[in-house]
Chains A and B, each alone.
Chain A
Amino acid sequence: MALRARYSKIEGMTELLLTQHRQVRPPVRVENIVRGLGLEVRAGDLKDVSGLLVRTGDTAVIGVNSTQSRVRQRFTIAHELGHFLLHEGIQHHVDHNYRVNFRSEVSSSATSVDEIEANFFAASLLMPRHFLDAVNAVDAMDDDARVAELARAFDVSRHAMSLRLVNVYQHHSPY
């Protein structure tokens, strides 16, 4: 189990998935990628659970909470796909309202690293670096209206978009 999140490896994986599934512009059709990999997605009222992953042999079922917002469900599906591809040892995984920004350096336990990796995977898949570069997203960092516009284009929450922009372009930040 990884002790540090494998950021470069994950970004390589998401780039390959986007190419293989011919995703060339936002919004990324995460459901097509998941289906292309042979996984099944089902929705239901999961109460305080955002999503889950249940493996069966080589494939898996991803469960998503239908009571949460659509953009959140998209992120959850991508997050669970991340667990499926990155964390082979886990047969059954249940995510209770995980935090999208769960990537603190303090989160050192193996489980926390898994969550950081799954979140980074989801963000990289739904908001690929080169898609952001292509629309000069770096200029949106300090502009709420542009963040909202990008969030709509990428079909993600504004919160997820803000975090991704900081993550990708933080060396540009004046703070």
Chain B
Amino acid sequence: MADPIYEKLGAAIRSRREALGMSQAKLADRVGMVRTSLTMIENGAQGVLVHQLLGLAAALRVGPAELIASAVIHSEKDTGATARAEAEHLLGELNTPVSRITR
């Protein structure tokens, strides 16, 4: 699976599972998946089908959007070059020095 989004999604699933103290075998069992598939998913080596994502989210007691969000946010910000270009453009918009902001 080439798309790095699956690595981020897999990492989010693993992190949440570990935070709950749940084994891979137990989570895989809950969502009706063999453990090796879950390992592949957590490693980003296998894509995730929608019904699997929903099952994993339910078993991990989080919204599917939350699992996806970490992948999306990461892919948006990954490239230093993009951030630099955007920051340099935005610097041009910053025309007011701020010396006092607290009421």
The chain A residues found within 8 Å of chain B, CB to CB, are 27-31, 35, 40-46, 49, 52, 54, 61, 63-64, 66, 70, 73-74, 77, 91-94, 96, 104-112, 115, 155
B residues less than 8 Å from A52 (CB atoms): 87, 90-91
A residues less than 8 Å from B67 (CB atoms): 106
Residue of B nearest to A4 (CB): B15
| Interface membership of chain B positions 59-82, coded 1 if the CB is closer than 8 angstroms to chain A and 0 otherwise | 010100011011101101110100
The chain B residues found within 8 Å of chain A, CB to CB, are 8, 11-12, 14-16, 19, 60, 62, 66-67, 69-71, 73-74, 76-78, 80, 83-84, 86-88, 90-91, 93-103
Residue of A nearest to B96 (CB): A43
A–B pairs, 9, beta carbons within 8 Å: A43-B94, A46-B90, A70-B101, A73-B98, A74-B101, A106-B62, A107-B70, A109-B8, A109-B74
| B102 engages A63 (CB within 8 Å) | no
With A40-B97, A42-B98, A54-B91 already in contact, the answer to whether A108 and B83 are too (CB < 8 A) is no
Main secondary structure, interface of B, reads helix
B residues less than 8 Å from A104 (CB atoms): 62, 66
Main secondary structure, interface of A, reads mixed
* Listed residue (B86, B90, B94, B99) with the most chain A CB atoms within 10 angstroms of its CB: B94
Residue in A42, A107, A112 whose beta carbon sits within 8 Å of that of B95 in the complex:
A42
| B93 engages A46 (CB within 8 Å) | yes
